[in-house]
Chains A and B, each alone.
Chain A
Amino acid sequence: MALLELKSEVTGSVWKIVTAAGQKLEPGETVMILESMKMEIPVIAEDGGKLVEIRVTEGTSVAEGQVLAVVQE
């Protein structure tokens, strides 16, 4: 079971976390929503899996490439 790091593709802030650690994710499910350039950017678990860990909280500033969450595929 590979661990996959979900990284931020943008610099911005965490607007809403819509999942909780430990939960099962469907393929394509949105884990959290970032805000950058006045847009709501969804962070998606392409292949689904189990959400092992969320490393940020709502309101946190994030940098491009920063690990936001870890998913077990």
Chain B
Amino acid sequence: MTEPVVNALPDVARESPWQDALDELAQRRSSAQALGGAAAVAKHRQQGRLTIRERIDGLVDPDSFQEVGRLTGQGRYEHGRLTSVTPAPYVMGLAQIDGRPVAVGGEDFTVRGGTSWSGDRKKGGQGGFVEDLAHNYRIPLVNLIDGAGGSVTSIQRRGHAVFPGVHGFERSVQLLGEVPVVCAVLGTAAGGPAGRAILAHWSVMVKGTSQVFAAGPPVVERSLGQKITKEELGGPELAVATAGTIDNVAASEQECFALIRRYLSYMPRNVWELPPLGGQGDPVDRCADELAGIVPENRRKPYDMRKVVRLIADTGSVFEIQPTFGKAVITALARMHGTVVGVVANNPMVYGGAMDVKAARKQTHFMELCDCFHIPLLFLVDVPGFMVGKDAEAAATLREGMRAVYVGLQATVPIFTVVVRKCYGMAGMGTTDKNGLDFKIAWPSAEWGSLPIEGGVAAAFRRDIEAAPDPKLREMQIEAELRAAASPFRTAEAFGVEEIIDPRETRPYLCRFIDAARGRLATSVGPKPKYGVRP
């Protein structure tokens, strides 16, 4: 590990009257560097996990970490002289990622499994100095979580049980409206550390070496009699793909750090600033020919919406959030002519793009994230409506879906809508900004209405159909008549959509307006007030 220059002791110290004190300082720093000792560190590494110091080094710019609170811990003394120090199980400080300041910290699992330590002031974990640092300096916070939370042994140590919330989440909650907060789960997180992981704008965990749950297998077995492994209970298969508790998964800790750096590259330092403008090398007028034929003529056939996103956005700029959860919608951070945008694209490969409860939850969180950090939203719409059926109703799709619509209507960032194919019902309503910039364009393959024609004909024209000599034929005739009248060109005649475009023109058209919106974005920075009660 490279020692930051600022911490090196100058040679003049050799002549100092404070020589003994300076020697003690060196001894204490060396203890901090040793973490929980050689044996504990070796055991930790054997499990395929990095130490907290290696993690911080792997994440931040080289030599940029300035530790705070390195001397914290429990000293042992003989005849008043220091013999050794067990460091506090939390390492934190100020660092830089891509040249921009961040507050970073994480539990040191090699010291008592990263459980809490009772000093005068908390270093981090839940609140503490590192979160105050992010708040006071208005800089992003990165939590590298590797702790198992409270232990009943603390009752013995303190002589009393601590009331929940004494080391509370007040600051953690406040930060979510001020600066980007990223949490990485890098070990087995239960209780407080698991809760802390959720209080983030974006979270990530590592396949094979990390799990997250409210309570681990021993508590589950005691409470419910269920025998379950910690991987089954809180590995990425459950926590990321099934529950969406954590957003993304990395194959290794190194990949995890790369993902964190990537995520933060789309974020402003705080809500009082705009996200950084990226490179503008990809030409605005790049028209991908593939877009012209990507939507099949047969309405029953799906297509690759991810490819549509890639072809429209700046090359190499698409970063998908929650790629394995709520797959009926794709949410991604991307850039358009360098400007960061949040892409919400329905995925026809999953439920024909219908919004199910998971997709609704995912979309709600993503829209709120983009609104908070002044990132314009770009909707690529192919949504037949809310998911239907008993399972969908039992899962509260209607409520979660309307919550997504509500949050979309509250957003004040510019919203750009491109209707690729279907745009129906309330889910479709949630993809446009009727009261703001209200900008919606459509491809010739677009179709819209309060519900898809084939679903509505039988009910609306029941008497007409039943009276016909050949009811099936009559139903098809009515469908054909309505479909002709529902052509997107007719809505464009009425200026019900602003434009029908050749799909190849999507990127140039959008870039013009997104570039133009930067001026307005710059005038509306700051925290977003929250009002009302979400449905």
User: What is the interface of chain A, defined by CB distance below 8 A to chain B?
Assistant: 9-11, 36-42
Contact = CB atoms under 8 A, between A and B. Distances in A.
B354 A9 contact: no
B354 A11 contact: no
B351 A10 contact: yes
Contacts of B389: 11
Contact of A37 (B301, B327, B354): B354
A40 B350 CA distance: 10
Interface of B: 300-302, 327, 348-352, 354, 384, 387-389, 391, 452, 454
A13 B327 CA distance: 18
B397 to A, nearest CB: 13
Contacts of B348: 39
30 contacts: A9-B327, A9-B349, A9-B350, A10-B350, A10-B351, A11-B389, A11-B391, A36-B351, A36-B352, A37-B351, A37-B352, A37-B354, A37-B384, A38-B300, A38-B384, A38-B452, A38-B454, A39-B300, A39-B301, A39-B348, A39-B351, A39-B352, A40-B300, A40-B301, A40-B302, A41-B302, A41-B349, A41-B352, A42-B302, A42-B349
A70 to B, nearest CB: 18
B359 to A, nearest CB: 12
A37 B421 CA distance: 15
A58 B302 CA distance: 20
Contacts of A11: 389, 391
A10 B302 CA distance: 13
Instruction: Name the prevailing secondary structure of the B interface residues.
Output: loop
Contacts of A37: 351-352, 354, 384, 387-388
Given A37-B388, A39-B351, 6 more contacts: A9-B327, A36-B352, A37-B384, A38-B352, A41-B350, A42-B349
A11 B327 CA distance: 13
A16 B97 CA distance: 51
Pick the 5 closest A-B CB pairs, nearest first.
A39-B352, A37-B352, A40-B300, A37-B351, A37-B354
Interface core residue of B300, B354, B452 (most chain A CB under 10 Å): B300
Contacts of A38: 300, 352, 384, 452, 454
Nearest to B454: A38
Nearest to A10: B351
Contacts of B327: 9
Nearest to B389: A11
A18 to B, nearest CB: 14
Nearest to B301: A40
Contacts of A40: 300-302
Nearest to A15: B300
Contacts of A42: 302, 349
A10 B454 CA distance: 21
A3 B351 CA distance: 27
A40 B300 CA distance: 6
A29 to B, nearest CB: 15
B232 to A, nearest CB: 15
Nearest to B241: A65
A18 B452 CA distance: 29
A40 B301 CA distance: 5
Nearest to A12: B351
Contacts of B391: 11
A30 B351 CA distance: 17
B301, B349, B351 interface centre (most CB from chain A within 10 Å):
B351
B383 to A, nearest CB: 11
Contacts of B351: 10, 36-37, 39
Nearest to B354: A37
Nearest to A63: B391
Contacts of A10: 350-351
Nearest to B300: A40
A41 B316 CA distance: 28
Contacts of B301: 39-40
A9 B353 CA distance: 12
Nearest to A35: B300
A36 B352 CA distance: 7
A36 B351 CA distance: 6
Nearest to A36: B351
A38 B354 CA distance: 11
Nearest to B455: A38
A42 B298 CA distance: 14
B475 to A, nearest CB: 15
> Which of A9, A11, A39: most chain B Cβ within 10 A?
A39
Contacts of B387: 37
B356 to A, nearest CB: 9
A10 B389 CA distance: 13
Contacts of A41: 302, 349-350, 352
A42 B348 CA distance: 11
A5 B388 CA distance: 27
A39 B387 CA distance: 13
Contacts of A39: 300-302, 348, 351-352
A72 B268 CA distance: 46
A11 B384 CA distance: 16
Q: Which of A11, A37, A38 has the most CB of B within 10 A?
A: A37
A9 B327 CA distance: 8
A36 B356 CA distance: 13
A64 to B, nearest CB: 9
A37 B349 CA distance: 10
A40 B296 CA distance: 12
A7 B491 CA distance: 40
